[in-house]
């Protein structure tokens, strides 16, 4: 992978050191010894920086989604009908799926991305929190005692009573 | 603004009501309900062409078809407890006289339609014995005050007095009858009679033996009486002018006269050597020529009497009325019973709904694992499954044979009914036909407040095949007043031990909740001496462990006290001790209601809009008692008490001033509904009271009346009922999940009212469609759709019996009175059942089609894949 990638990268490198080096005098204030050195450094740091940037982009994506989700949920309203339920369901399921697939997402980034992963999971957890809050405001969470009322067993009868009007 | 608000409320209410009321579609009429009409015990009967016109002890005039016995028309007059029918004659129209001691109503009815033609009143001041008879459009009214006959002759149509005369006639005895224009009295050893005309003289008929002599009317065209001197010997005396003439041969006491193509005949009933047969004897009056026919008298009917006869061209119809109020029509020369009517069913005193046993096949499946070794079990399984298959293919023959088999939803049940005349019936709920009858001689019901009741207990249901179901009926011996017990199988009507006459009077009885080893719930009978007896006797061991948890309450209506007793075991016997007494003082106890012992409360609380729970106070031992006390200022004061039957603790009490009866109570779950008549506003009011424990449940696992820590909170609200209820009942379902319906019996039928309409609303809680709460309306709406009997009138409703089906949504309802009406109600609609018009075929076709299409597409898809792979 690395040699191929290297080749592909070098396609984009302008090598102005090779051609007609002797023909032309260096421009004033040009120090020829500086160029190859600086080239080597910039190449390395640039890739690393890009990778980190990319990984941070990935890690922060769920957080960036949050405002849009907030807006969507606000627009969906609190009534229980098929579309809001679908939206809330997606909002709840997608982060969970994404959290499960965290490792796969960060696999292509070779460097140590523990921090990014934590941020990524936290972002998704924020989304789940938002979905739960939405469920709660829609009244879908069984958090009140009345939600469990149907499961309350009738108390056992301790005494048994019978009788009626005295017939004689 | 207020207007808009009220409009809003009305619209909300209307929409909610339309959701709550359940009307019937036209094609559903008669699908699961049936109605039987009765007329009561026949007092007067006369034939008219193809009709049989009867006047009954229920104060009813009706015409029955002499061909089928069906009711052609029926007119219900005043309440029989106040007024009684005294005369029924067919002249041109039907003439009836009904009333009580000093106010009589004379009515004439059209024979064909039963329409009332004329009606006028005879009002008298002197309360003496009055006799009525009609002859040639003249109504003779005879007042006999011991020494003088005051005779007034009215025109039947107009009610004008045509003439009046006074005839001296001394008779102290009450044995007097008026036969057309002759008045006859039995005085010591002679019969004196007089013709009701000017200057007529009293004549005398001497009797051979005067012991136990009786006189009665001889039903015929000519005026005549029957003088009975012994139970088998009596003679007919014909009146003719001022003379009388005895019929040559002695006759039976129930002889009846009829004219067959100009020849007067006498019909008599006689017993034969064969106890199941009866002999009809017809005698020609003029020459004494006899014709006898023997016929098989239907089994299970009481002693018959000839009520009416009619002869057309030598074919005679004889109407027989039996001691248990059955009516039979016997065609004479053929001696064939044409039809039978069980009029005993017009006075029902006890009802019980019973599950039917499973079919033989299902029972054999249930008994599969009771067999011994593996091979026999295997063979058993194979044979039953073969039979199941054959039933599936060829239709179930077993079902067709017996009919009385349990269905999946418990919709097919048998109703066991005890009647006032002491006859038991088993009625099939699907068709309303009588499955069996059983007659108990010399039995009468107990008196309970203002009604008559027998006690019917289900000791064992049909669940324990091969053991048969077992019911026990407690009643009173009509001669001694002692108790009687009869145990019978409610499915077949067979009684193994027959009737047991006890040597003590029954005060109360109690069915214990725990089975003994034969799955029989023991019955504890509490005698008037305070002793407890247990039936069956062998059940002593079964109740030993539970006796101390069992309590018995008795309500003494004469002393207005409630007594609670605790059962305990002493040696082999069950004893009781008095544990509490509540004295309701000078007020009079008028109504009592306890909860149904089989009721289950599913929801333990009420959900408030803030989604917290307000727990119900569900005390199964709570009794509702209503008393009325005279008050110098408020006339009558009605008091309602809720008393714990175990401890005598008064959980709630309230009172209403200027209220009077009738009081009806309905007590269920954690609420009480009662109705009374408010004299202040002159209207019927209904009050609903609901009991709550609070926002926490003191003990969620067990309920004990002995562990009450605080008084329940009570929410009440009252309503106006724009009707006069006769009885109240509440629906009952298997698990109590379904909403409740209240049944108000009105004078033309039964109205179902959702409990939600009456349920008290909390004062500090918003009420609206969002909370699925109907705003308070002071008047209870009685829409026409809410009549469960739709357009069929139900007369004189005496009670409503309710039982759950196995289907949670449905309960059985039997309305009894003069009519018997059965239907099924589903207060929350049949949520657990597919609709009747559900298209099973369509859904099967669609499913099968989809499966086939998916297989086909799968095949094509694989073909396509293959082709692509080769490309």
ipTM of the complex: 0.79
Q: Is A161 on the interface with B (CB under 8 A)?
A: yes
Is residue A93 one of the residues assigned to a domain? Answer: yes
Task: Determine the angle formed by the axes of helices A82-100 and A34-76, rounding to 10 degrees.
Answer: 150
Q: Is A11 on the interface with B (CB under 8 A)?
A: no
Q: Is there a contact between B549 and A168 if contact means CB atoms under 8 Å apart?
A: no
Burial of A100 (0-12, 13-18, 19+ CB in 10 A): exposed
Residue B750 tokens, joined: 């039964």
Q: Is A160 on the interface with B (CB under 8 A)?
A: yes
Is residue A163 one of the residues assigned to a domain? Answer: no
CA A107, A108, A114: angle at the middle one, nearest 5?
50
Q: What is the pLDDT of residues B567-626, one digit of tens each?
A: 888 877 788 899 999 999 889 999 999 999 889 998 889 888 888 899 999 999 999 999
The distance of B614 to chain A (nearest Cα, Å) reads 9
**Using a CB-CB distance cutoff of 8 angstroms, which residues of chain B are in contact with residue A165?**
448-449, 508, 554-555, 557, 592
Closest CA to B589 of B634, B641, B540: B641
- Relative to beta strand B702-703, strand A156-157 is parallel
Residues B844, B824 share a domain: no
Residues B712, B606 share a domain: yes
| DSSP bridge partners of B509 | B525
Which one of B643, B704, B707, B772 makes the best mutation probe of the A interface by having the most chain A beta carbons within 10 Å? B704
Residues B751, B707 share a domain: no
Residues in chain B: 871
Q: 118-147 in A: which are within 8 Å (CB) of B?
A: 144-147
Is residue B783 one of the residues assigned to a domain? Answer: yes
Distance CA A120, CA A99 (A): 8
Closest CA to B604 of B539, B679, B694: B694
Q: How far apart are the first and last CA of chain B?
A: 79
**Using a CB-CB distance cutoff of 8 angstroms, which residues of chain A are in contact with residue B552?**
161-163
**CA dist B415 → B174, B469, B818, B820 (Å):** 43, 13, 17, 12
Is residue A50 one of the residues assigned to a domain? Answer: no
The distance of A73 to chain B (nearest Cα, Å) reads 23
Residue B577 tokens, joined: 């001790």
Distance CA B712, CA B614 (A): 12
Q: Final residue of a domain: which of B346, B364, B388? A: B346
Q: What SS3 state is found at B542?
A: helix
CA B811, B817, B820: angle at the middle one, nearest 5?
55
Q: Is there a contact between A158 and B706 if contact means CB atoms under 8 Å apart?
A: yes
Backbone angles phi, psi at B642, to 5 degrees: -110, 115
Residue pair B663/B592 in contact (Cβ under 8 Å)? The answer is no
| CB nearest B646 (choices: A156, A161, A164) | A161
Is residue A113 one of the residues assigned to a domain? Answer: yes
Q: What SS3 state is found at B844?
A: helix
Residues B783, B754 share a domain: yes
Is residue B502 one of the residues assigned to a domain? Answer: no
Residues B727, B809 share a domain: yes
What sign does the dihedral B331-B335-B338-B339 (CA atoms) show? positive
What does the radius of gyration of chain B's CA atoms come to, in whole angstroms? Answer: 33
Residues B758, B679 share a domain: no
Nearest chain B alpha carbon to A151 = B603
Q: Is A156 on the interface with B (CB under 8 A)?
A: yes
The distance of A83 to chain B (nearest Cα, Å) reads 21
- The rounded percent of chain A whose pLDDT value lies above 90 is 24
Residue pair B110/B119 in contact (Cβ under 8 Å)? The answer is no
Which one of A80, A136, A154 makes the best mutation probe of the B interface by having the most chain B beta carbons within 10 Å? A154
Pairs of CB atoms within 8 A across A/B: 126
| DSSP bridge partners of B53 | B46, B63
Residues B738, B748 share a domain: yes
Q: How many domains does chain B have?
A: 5
Distance CA B332, CA B265 (A): 12
Residues B310, B388 share a domain: no
Query: Which domain covers residue A130, as residue numbers?
Result: 59-74+82-141
Q: Is there a contact between B611 and A152 if contact means CB atoms under 8 Å apart?
A: no
The distance of B786 to chain A (nearest Cα, Å) reads 29
Distance CA B447, CA B455 (A): 11
**What is the pLDDT, as a whole number, of residue A20?**
55
Is residue B727 one of the residues assigned to a domain? Answer: yes
Q: Is A41 on the interface with B (CB under 8 A)?
A: no
Residues in chain A: 168
Residue B528 tokens, joined: 């008037």
Nearest chain A alpha carbon to B562 = A165
What sign does the dihedral B124-B130-B134-B140 (CA atoms) show? negative
Q: Final residue of a domain: which of B338, B370, B402? A: B402
Residue pair B547/B568 in contact (Cβ under 8 Å)? The answer is yes
Residues B635, B756 share a domain: no
Distance CA B379, CA B360 (A): 17
Residues B684, B607 share a domain: yes
**What is the pLDDT, as a whole number, of residue A8?**
62
The distance of A156 to chain B (nearest Cα, Å) reads 4
Is residue B604 one of the residues assigned to a domain? Answer: yes
Q: Before B722, cis peptide (omega within 30)?
A: no
Task: Determine the angle formed by the axes of helices A34-76 and A114-138, rounding to 10 degrees.
Answer: 10
State CA B94 to chain mean position distance: 29
**What is the pLDDT, as a whole number, of residue A14?**
66
Q: Final residue of a domain: which of B306, B326, B346? A: B346
Q: Is there a contact between B703 and A147 if contact means CB atoms under 8 Å apart?
A: no
Low-confidence ranges of chain A (pLDDT < 70): 1-23, 32-42
Query: Which domain covers residue B336, as residue numbers?
Result: 254-346
Residue pair B176/B216 in contact (Cβ under 8 Å)? The answer is no
Residues B744, B730 share a domain: yes
Nearest chain A alpha carbon to B705 = A159
Q: Is there a contact between B549 and A159 if contact means CB atoms under 8 Å apart?
A: yes
Low-confidence ranges of chain B (pLDDT < 70): 1-22, 173, 210, 366-372, 395-402, 540-544
Is residue B596 one of the residues assigned to a domain? Answer: yes
Distance CA B284, CA B314 (A): 12
**What is the pLDDT, as a whole number, of residue B396?**
56
Distance CA B278, CA B268 (A): 10
Which one of B560, B623, B703 makes the best mutation probe of the A interface by having the most chain A beta carbons within 10 Å? B703
Would you give the DSSP letter of residue B308? E
Task: Spell out where B272-333 has E strands.
Answer: 277-284, 290-296, 304-312, 315-322, 326-331
**Using a CB-CB distance cutoff of 8 angstroms, which residues of chain A are in contact with residue B612?**
144-146
Is residue A65 one of the residues assigned to a domain? Answer: yes
**What is the pLDDT, as a whole number, of residue B1?**
42
Is residue B323 one of the residues assigned to a domain? Answer: yes
**Using a CB-CB distance cutoff of 8 angstroms, which residues of chain B are in contact with residue A142?**
none
Nearest chain B alpha carbon to A158 = B704
Burial of B810 (0-12, 13-18, 19+ CB in 10 A): buried
The distance of A165 to chain B (nearest Cα, Å) reads 4
Q: Is there a contact between B554 and A162 if contact means CB atoms under 8 Å apart?
A: no
Q: Is there a contact between A149 and B613 if contact means CB atoms under 8 Å apart?
A: yes
The distance of B548 to chain A (nearest Cα, Å) reads 9
Long-range CB contact pairs, B309-316, < 8 A, 24+: B309/B47, B309/B219, B309/B256, B309/B257, B309/B258, B309/B267, B310/B47, B310/B66, B310/B258, B311/B258, B311/B259, B311/B260, B311/B261, B311/B265, B313/B261, B314/B260, B314/B261, B316/B258, B316/B260, B316/B265, B316/B267, B316/B282
Is residue B827 one of the residues assigned to a domain? Answer: yes
Q: How many domains does chain A have?
A: 1
**CA dist A142 → A21, A147, B535, B611, B770 (Å):** 78, 5, 51, 10, 19
Closest CA to B50 of B66, B63, B73, B72: B66
Residue B223 tokens, joined: 């005026």
Which one of B545, B611, B707 makes the best mutation probe of the A interface by having the most chain A beta carbons within 10 Å? B611
Q: Is A150 on the interface with B (CB under 8 A)?
A: yes
Q: Is A79 on the interface with B (CB under 8 A)?
A: no
Q: Is there a contact between B612 and A144 if contact means CB atoms under 8 Å apart?
A: yes
Distance CA B755, CA B690 (A): 11
**What is the pLDDT, as a whole number, of residue B683?**
94
Residues B664, B597 share a domain: yes
The distance of A155 to chain B (nearest Cα, Å) reads 4
Q: Is there a contact between A164 and B602 if contact means CB atoms under 8 Å apart?
A: no
Q: What SS3 state is found at A83?
A: helix
Is residue B697 one of the residues assigned to a domain? Answer: yes
- CATH code of the domain containing B313: 2.40.10
Nearest chain A alpha carbon to B550 = A160
| CB nearest A165 (choices: B524, B557, B699) | B557
| CB nearest A161 (choices: B449, B553, B556) | B553
Q: How far apart are the first and last CA of chain A?
A: 106
**Using a CB-CB distance cutoff of 8 angstroms, which residues of chain B are in contact with residue A147?**
611
Residue B765 CB neighbours (<10 A): 13
Is residue A20 one of the residues assigned to a domain? Answer: no
């Amino acid at each position: 992978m690395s040699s191929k990638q290297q080749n592909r990268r070098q396609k984009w490198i302008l090598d102005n050191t090779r051609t007609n080096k002797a023909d032309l005098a260096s421009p004033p204030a040009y120090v020829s010894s500086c160029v190859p050195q600086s080239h080597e450094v910039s190449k390395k740091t640039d890739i690393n920086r890009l990778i980190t940037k990319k990984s941070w982009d990935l890690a922060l994506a769920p957080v960036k989604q949050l405002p849009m989700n907030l807006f969507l949920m606000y627009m969906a309203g609190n009534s229980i009908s098929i579309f809001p339920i679908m939206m809330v369901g997606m909002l709840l399921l997608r982060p969970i799926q994404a959290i499960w697939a965290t490792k796969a997402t960060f696999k292509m980034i070779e460097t140590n991305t523990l921090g990014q992963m934590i941020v990524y999971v936290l972002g998704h957890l924020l989304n789940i929190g938002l979905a739960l809050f939405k469920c709660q405001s829609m009244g879908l969470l069984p958090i009140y005692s009345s939600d469990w009322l149907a499961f309350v067993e009738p108390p056992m009868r301790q005494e048994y009573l019978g009788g009626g009007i005295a017939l004689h | 603004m207020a207007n808009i608000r009220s409009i809003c409320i009305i619209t909300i209410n209307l929409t909610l009501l339309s959701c709550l009321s359940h009307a019937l579609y036209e094609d559903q009429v008669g699908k699961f309900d049936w109605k039987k009409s009765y007329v009561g015990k026949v007092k007067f009967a006369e034939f008219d062409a193809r009709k049989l016109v009867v006047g009954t002890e229920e104060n009813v005039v009706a015409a029955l078809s002499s061909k089928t016995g069906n009711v052609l028309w029926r007119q219900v007059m005043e309440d029989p407890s106040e007024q009684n029918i005294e005369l029924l004659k067919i002249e041109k129209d039907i003439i009836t006289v009904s009333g009580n001691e000093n106010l009589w109503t004379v009515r004439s009815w059209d024979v064909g339609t039963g329409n009332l033609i004329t009606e006028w009143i005879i009002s008298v001041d002197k309360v003496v014995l009055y006799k009525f008879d009609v002859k040639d459009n003249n109504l003779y009214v005879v007042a006999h005050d011991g020494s003088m006959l005051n005779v007034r002759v009215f025109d039947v149509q107009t009610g004008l007095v045509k003439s009046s005369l006074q005839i001296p006639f001394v008779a102290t005895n009450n044995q007097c009858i008026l036969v057309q224009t002759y008045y006859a009295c039995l005085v010591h050893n002679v019969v004196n009679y007089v013709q009701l005309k000017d200057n007529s003289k009293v004549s005398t008929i001497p009797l051979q033996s005067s012991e136990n002599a009786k006189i009665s009317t001889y039903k015929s065209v000519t005026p005549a009486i029957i003088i009975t001197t012994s139970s088998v010997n009596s003679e007919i005396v014909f009146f003719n002018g001022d003379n009388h003439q005895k019929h040559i041969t002695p006759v039976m006491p129930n002889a009846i006269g009829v004219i067959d193509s100009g020849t007067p005949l006498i019909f008599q009933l006689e017993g034969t050597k064969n106890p199941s047969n009866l002999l009809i004897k017809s005698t020609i009056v003029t020459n004494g020529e006899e014709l006898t026919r023997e016929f098989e008298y239907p089994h299970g009917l009481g002693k018959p009497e000839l009520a009416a006869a009619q002869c057309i061209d030598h074919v005679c119809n004889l109407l027989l009325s039996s001691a248990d109020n059955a009516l039979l029509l016997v065609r004479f020369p053929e001696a064939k019973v044409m039809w039978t009517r069980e009029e005993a069913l017009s006075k029902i005193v006890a009802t019980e709904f019973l599950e039917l046993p499973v079919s033989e096949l299902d029972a054999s499946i249930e008994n599969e694992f009771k067999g011994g070794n593996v091979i026999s079990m295997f063979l058993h399984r194979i044979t039953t499954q073969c039979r199941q298959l054959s039933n599936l293919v060829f239709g179930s023959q077993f079902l067709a044979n017996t009919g009385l088999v349990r269905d999946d939803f418990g919709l097919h049940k048998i109703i066991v009914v005890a009647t006032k005349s002491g006859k038991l019936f088993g009625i099939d709920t699907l068709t309303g036909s009588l499955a069996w009858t059983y007659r108990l001689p010399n039995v009468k019901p107990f008196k309970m407040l203002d009604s008559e009741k027998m006690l019917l207990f289900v000791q064992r249901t049909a669940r324990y095949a091969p053991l048969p179901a077992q019911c026990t009926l407690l009643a009173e011996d009509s001669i001694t007043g002692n108790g009687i017990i009869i145990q019978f199988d409610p499915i077949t009507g067979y009684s193994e031990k027959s009737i047991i006459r006890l040597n003590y009077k029954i005060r109360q009885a109690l069915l214990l909740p725990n089975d003994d080893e034969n799955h029989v719930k023991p019955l504890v009978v509490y005698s008037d001496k305070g002793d407890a007896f247990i039936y069956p006797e062998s059940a002593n061991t079964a109740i030993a462990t539970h006796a101390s948890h069992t309590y018995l309450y008795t309500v003494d209506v004469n002393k207005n006290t409630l007594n609670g007793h605790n059962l305990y075991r002493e040696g082999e016997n069950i004893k009781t001790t008095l544990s509490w007494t509540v004295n309701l003082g000078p007020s009079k106890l008028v109504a009592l209601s306890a909860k149904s012992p089989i009721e289950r409360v599913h929801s333990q609380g009420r959900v408030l809009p803030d989604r917290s729970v307000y727990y119900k106070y569900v005390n199964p031992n709570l009794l509702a008692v209503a008393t009325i006390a005279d008050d110098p200022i408020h006339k009558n004061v009605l008091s309602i008490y809720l008393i714990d039957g175990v401890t005598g603790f008064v959980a709630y009490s309230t009172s209403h001033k200027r209220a009077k009866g009738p009081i009806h109570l309905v007590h269920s779950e954690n609420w009480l509904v009662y109705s009374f008549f408010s004299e202040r506003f002159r209207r019927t009011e209904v009050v609903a009271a609901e009991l709550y424990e609070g926002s926490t449940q003191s003990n969620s696992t067990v309920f004990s009346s002995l562990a009450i820590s605080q008084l329940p909170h009570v929410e009440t609200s009252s309503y106006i009922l724009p009707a006069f209820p006769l009885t109240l009942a509440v629906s009952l379902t298997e698990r109590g999940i379904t909403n409740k319906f209240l049944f108000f019996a009105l004078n033309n039928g039964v109205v179902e009212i959702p409990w939600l309409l009456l349920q008290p609303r909390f004062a500090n809680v918003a009420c609206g469609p969002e909370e699925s709460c109907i705003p308070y309306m002071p008047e209870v709406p009685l829409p026409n759709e809410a009549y469960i009997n739709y357009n069929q009138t139900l007369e004189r409703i005496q009670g409503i019996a309710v039982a759950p089906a196995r289907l949670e949504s449905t309960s059985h309802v039997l309305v009894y009175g003069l009519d018997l009406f059965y239907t099924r109600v589903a207060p929350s609609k049949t949520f657990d059942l597919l609709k009747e018009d559900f298209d099973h075929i369509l859904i099967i076709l669609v499913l099968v089609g989809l499966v086939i299409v998916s297989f086909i597409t799968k095949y094509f898809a694989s073909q396509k894949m293959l082709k692509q792979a080769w490309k």
